[in-house]
Amino acid sequence: MGNKKNILIFAKDCPINDECGAGIYLRTLVYFLDKYYDVVIHILIGRYNKLKRYNHFIISPSKNIFIYHADKLCKEYKLPPLRWCSFKKRIIAEVVLFSKTSSYRFGQNYISWFILINHIIKVKNIDLTIIRDHQFLSYYPLYVNKKIISSIPNLYSILIPPVDFKDEYGHLKENNKLWTTVLITPNDLLYKPNFIYIPPMITNNVIRKPSYEKKNIISFIGTLTDNQHLREIAKAFNNSLKKKVLPSDYILNITGKCCLSKQYSKALYNEIQGYNMIKKNIILNLNINGIASDILETIIKDSLICIRIDINREVLSTKVLHYIDLCKPIILQKLNVHTYLLGDNYPFYINKNLDNSVNEIEDIFSKLNETNLKKAYDKICEAKLKVNDRYLYDNNPKLKSILNSKKIISIVGTRPQFLKVAPLCYEFKNTMHEHSIIHTGQHYDKELSEQLFKTLNIPEPQYHLKRDHSSSIHFFTSLMNELERILTIEKPDYIIVYGDCDTTFAGAFVAQKLGIQLIHIEAGMRSYNKAMPEEINRILTDNISNILLCTTKDSVENLEKENITNNVSLVGNLQLDLLKLTIEKNMSTVPSFDFEIKNYVLLTIHRNYNTTPEALTKIFKSLYLLKTNIIFPIHPRTKKIVNTNTLVVPANIKLVKPVSYFEMVHLLQNSNYVITDSGGLQPECWFLNKRCIVLRTETEWTEPIKSGNSILYDVEKPLAQFIQSFLKNNCEACSYNMNASKNIINIIDNINSL
């Protein structure tokens, strides 16, 4: 249980090396996933890699990366052989696919690939699939709708923006439900918020010293696809030489892979020569197979400045990344992706649309002084930090949420646990984690359980167990048997238990026995009274938990005293999260009692030692002497004891049925003070600045006691006199400002293997 996530990357015709931008993006993606995430990466390659660079991968060896060739897998899995589809065949396939009269004969071209991918997903237990091939995906919805193939679960499509993905008929796929779009961009705020982004990155953070002194080379390096822009660069350079804007010994270096036809290459060469520049001022190094990366790096290092002109696409090109990596100033368009990295006042921008680019480039050539070069260098160094892989990992919560997504089960069974799980459920909705609830039935009363789930809008439990009422021991053992059965089927990555009741330790014990990672929320709480079952549950649960999330500083210190320090975090109080939310949204409601709610004390009693007939009789007599109205939402078990033993309830105590959470908040806010033996009410009283008398001799909630807001009842003193004396004392206000649910999700998001 808790296995690594398996990722399938389908490269098909795209290399995973430094031969093209897409290949570099895929290579850095593989590097990024392997370095920062607890995943196993399966790479499926196809035609390009087989025919040209089958073994040419620039990927560091890793025990978590596996590379497969499609043809070999088809033979191994005894699947139909793959057929490579030409453009002409795709058009034929499209006509046949939608023909009402023709039979479908396209068969093995793209369909065979989908069959192979689905087979790999099944055999390798793939959790999510990443595909880079746009044409390939254009047929995918058609085949799924025709029920020719099964849909691929958890499918992600990589796009380099601003490509609008369209099918073969030109229909936009923005509303597509079959996959999630992944954009390669440094800033997800530039694009649709529902998309995921994987930033292009630099894998080192070394800031090189500026080296622009005494250099005289201006370089354009890249894949040469646009004759016009290259001619404009050459013309601007030539004009600058003639006007003596640039010194006569400056050199323009145009280097790269030539994708132009021989005719256009020759025309470019002739036109540049036609500017009558002497040979020492121009270097043309065009090669149809590209230029070796070590040669390119040398050229960049030897250049004063580099030029990068694209086709007005919001793309952070791999060449710009390369220049940033080498801390080299760049002349480039003022695109959003560039201003995000370099700011608006970077000195060497040209117009986004390349209008009047000759004059703009000439103007920049006139500003190649040490001041502007130093300013550009500083901006480049700042940009390098933004595309560093560690920075991108820390600042990409969407991607982190997907790749670190876990299957998590919360085990709850009592009213306080329902209050704790509620704000965490709200937060889980904003993540990719699969979170579900097991309700153990420990609080089995419908008014205390089902009503609370509906009131708080908590998702229905996936499993709702029925409590065996024969004895606590029998409940505990039968609960563990049921939990073992369920968790063996569900195989979660993590179990979350809350607080200190029997449900807490039963869930913790079963998780530990099954080898499931255990998270204990409200860890480290101690009353140091081992006569309390809750104290035993706390100690045992903390000692077998993998991740311990503490509510207070005192609880962290308690764990330190017990030499429990690994994976301990102070996260805050989930119940106070819920209380804050209730107050902020004004969700508290007035209970509908048959008497006026005015000038009252709020009372809650439920612990065994306070609910014996003798204890209740003594408490009632003491409360009668307060001579004040008391509202007592009575626990079903306590009510049964009162009725069975025909106990006399004083007239100033109003017994009411259990109230909803929002009604309880209203009663708390409007009470004079509170008398309780509850644990959860103590911090809530402190937060609301309501004084609290705790009908116990010890408590795990020590901070409200230290503040003076709460006090433990001294049974040797008359209750009325004790309360009057306590209320005269001053106390410190609660300064709680944490967000426990967000803190817990953040910890879960960043968990790798423990």
CATH for 539: 3.40.50.2000
Q: Residue 206 domain-assigned?
A: no
User: Token pair of 388, please?
Assistant: 């560093």
Read off the pLDDT band of 573 (50, 70, 90): very high
Q: In this structure, are 557 and 437 located in the same domain?
A: yes
**Whether the predicted pLDDT of 102 surpasses 50:** no
State phi, psi for 437 to the nearest 5 degrees. Answer: -125, 140
User: Token pair of 22, please?
Assistant: 């897409």
Least confident of 46-55, 447-456, 678-687, 706-715: 46-55
Q: In this structure, are 90 and 186 located in the same domain?
A: yes
pLDDT, residue 79, reads 81
Read off the pLDDT band of 504 (50, 70, 90): very high
Q: Report the percentage of the chain scoring pLDDT > 90.
A: 37
pLDDT, residue 261, reads 55
Q: Tell me how many helices (H) and strands (E) the chain has.
A: 29, 26
Helices (H), 395-471: 397-403, 415-428, 450-455
Q: In this structure, are 509 and 619 located in the same domain?
A: no
Indicate the residue among 581, 611, 626 that finishes a domain: 581
pLDDT, residue 711, reads 95
Q: Report the percentage of the chain scoring pLDDT > 70.
A: 77
Q: What is the largest CA-CA distance in the chain?
A: 114
Q: In this structure, are 634 and 562 located in the same domain?
A: no
Q: Residue 750 domain-assigned?
A: no
Q: In this structure, are 564 and 421 located in the same domain?
A: yes
- Please tell me what DSSP assigns to residue 536: H
Least confident of 30-34, 96-100, 115-119: 96-100
Most confident of 159-168, 258-267, 369-378, 471-480: 369-378
**Whether the predicted pLDDT of 186 surpasses 90:** no
DSSP conformation letters of 563-618: T--TTEEE---HHHHHHHHHHHTT-------SS---SEEEEE---GGGSSHHHHHH
Average pLDDT, integer, range 65-82: 83
Chain segment 416-434, per-residue pLDDT in tens: 899 999 999 999 988 878 8
Find where tokens 């026995």 sit. Answer: 513
Tell me the pairing of strands 600-604 and 196-197. unpaired
Q: Residue 107 domain-assigned?
A: yes
User: Token pair of 42, please?
Assistant: 């399966």
Domain that includes residue 357, residue range: 217-387
State phi, psi for 411 to the nearest 5 degrees. Answer: -110, 115
pLDDT, residue 93, reads 42
Q: 150-183 burial, b if ≥16 CB within 10 A, otherwise e? A: eebebbbbbbbbeeebebeeeeebeebeebbbbb
**Whether the predicted pLDDT of 546 surpasses 50:** yes
Is the CB of residue 97 less than 8 Å from the CB of residue 106?
yes
Q: Residue 698 domain-assigned?
A: yes
Read off the pLDDT band of 716 (50, 70, 90): confident
Neighbour count for residue 386 (Cβ, 10 Å): 18
Indicate the residue among 137, 166, 197 that finishes a domain: 197
Chain segment 261-298, per-residue pLDDT in tens: 566 666 666 766 666 666 678 887 777 666 777 788 88
Q: What is the dihedral of CA 663, 664, 666, 667, to 10 degrees?
A: 120
**Whether the predicted pLDDT of 105 surpasses 60:** no
Q: Which residue has the higher pLDDT, 636 or 505?
A: 505
Q: Which residue has the higher pLDDT, 35 or 222?
A: 35
Average pLDDT, integer, range 709-735: 88
Chain segment 371-408, per-residue pLDDT in tens: 999 999 999 988 888 777 777 777 766 677 777 788 89
Is the CB of residue 75 less than 8 Å from the CB of residue 55?
no
Q: In this structure, are 107 and 170 located in the same domain?
A: yes
Query: What is the distance between the alpha carbons of residues 253 and 236, in angstroms, rounded to a whole number?
Result: 13
pTM of the full predicted structure? 0.64
pLDDT, residue 428, reads 93
Is the CB of residue 332 less than 8 Å from the CB of residue 308?
yes
Q: Residue 207 domain-assigned?
A: no
Neighbour count for residue 458 (Cβ, 10 Å): 21
Query: What is the distance between the alpha carbons of residues 535 and 32, in angstroms, rounded to a whole number?
Result: 45
Q: Which residue has the higher pLDDT, 47 or 154?
A: 154
Find where tokens 């499918």 sit. Answer: 155
**Whether the predicted pLDDT of 585 surpasses 50:** yes
Chain segment 303-342, per-residue pLDDT in tens: 999 998 866 666 677 788 888 888 899 999 888 888 888 9
Q: What is the mean pLDDT of the chain?
A: 81
Read off the pLDDT band of 56 (50, 70, 90): very low
CATH for 43: 3.40.50
pLDDT, residue 455, reads 83
Single out the residue of 607, 601, 667, 659 nearest to residue 629, CA to CA.
Answer: 601
Question: How far lies 526's CA from each of 563, 698, 744, in Å?
Answer: 14, 9, 21
Q: Residue 48 domain-assigned?
A: yes
Q: In this structure, are 186 and 259 located in the same domain?
A: no
pLDDT, residue 600, reads 95
DSSP conformation letters of 678-696: -STHHHHHHHTT--EEE-S
- Please tell me what DSSP assigns to residue 671: -
Q: In this structure, are 521 and 602 located in the same domain?
A: no
Read off the pLDDT band of 717 (50, 70, 90): confident
**Whether the predicted pLDDT of 549 surpasses 90:** yes
Q: In this structure, are 435 and 476 located in the same domain?
A: yes
Q: Residue 740 domain-assigned?
A: no
Single out the residue of 40, 750, 196, 749 nearest to residue 433, CA to CA.
Answer: 749
Least confident of 50-64, 112-126, 151-165, 397-411: 50-64
Reduce the secondary structure of 451-517 to three states and give it as a string: HHHHHCCCCCCCEECCCCCCCHHHHHHHHHHHHHHHHHHHCCCEEEEECCCHHHHHHHHHHHHHCCE
Average pLDDT, integer, range 133-150: 75
Indicate the residue among 553, 581, 609 that finishes a domain: 581
Find where tokens 């918020």 sit. Answer: 193
Q: Which residue has the higher pLDDT, 62 or 560?
A: 560
Is the CB of residue 551 less than 8 Å from the CB of residue 572?
yes
Q: Is 716 exposed, middle or buried (0-12, 13-18, 19+ CB in 10 A)?
A: exposed
Least confident of 78-82, 458-462, 518-522: 78-82
- Which listed residue (229, 464, 606, 635) is catalytic? 606
Segment holding 636, helix H or strand E:
helix 636-644
pLDDT, residue 702, reads 93
Query: What is the distance between the alpha carbons of residues 156 and 129, in angstroms, rounded to a whole number?
Result: 6
pLDDT, residue 172, reads 43
Query: What is the distance between the alpha carbons of residues 421 and 558, in angstroms, rounded to a whole number?
Result: 24
Query: What is the distance between the alpha carbons of residues 464 and 350, in angstroms, rounded to a whole number?
Result: 65
Q: In this structure, are 168 and 73 located in the same domain?
A: yes
Q: 188-198 burial, b if ≥16 CB within 10 A, otherwise e? A: bebbeeebbbb
pLDDT, residue 214, reads 63
Helices (H), 690-751: 702-707, 719-727, 740-749
Question: How many domains does the chain fold into?
Answer: 4
Q: In this structure, are 349 and 443 located in the same domain?
A: no
**Whether the predicted pLDDT of 92 surpasses 70:** no
Q: In this structure, are 596 and 575 located in the same domain?
A: no
**Whether the predicted pLDDT of 602 surpasses 90:** yes
**Whether the predicted pLDDT of 97 surpasses 50:** no
**Whether the predicted pLDDT of 435 surpasses 90:** yes
For this structure, is 606 an active site residue?
yes
Q: Which residues contact 493 (CB under 8 A, 6 or more apart)?
A: 1, 2, 406, 407, 408, 516, 517
Chain segment 245-255, per-residue pLDDT in tens: 999 889 998 88
Q: Residue 664 domain-assigned?
A: no
Q: Which residues contact 656 (CB under 8 A, 6 or more apart)?
A: 591, 593, 631, 632, 633, 634
Q: Which residue has the higher pLDDT, 511 or 734?
A: 511
Read off the pLDDT band of 95 (50, 70, 90): very low
Q: What is the dihedral of CA 689, 693, 694, 698, to 10 degrees?
A: 90
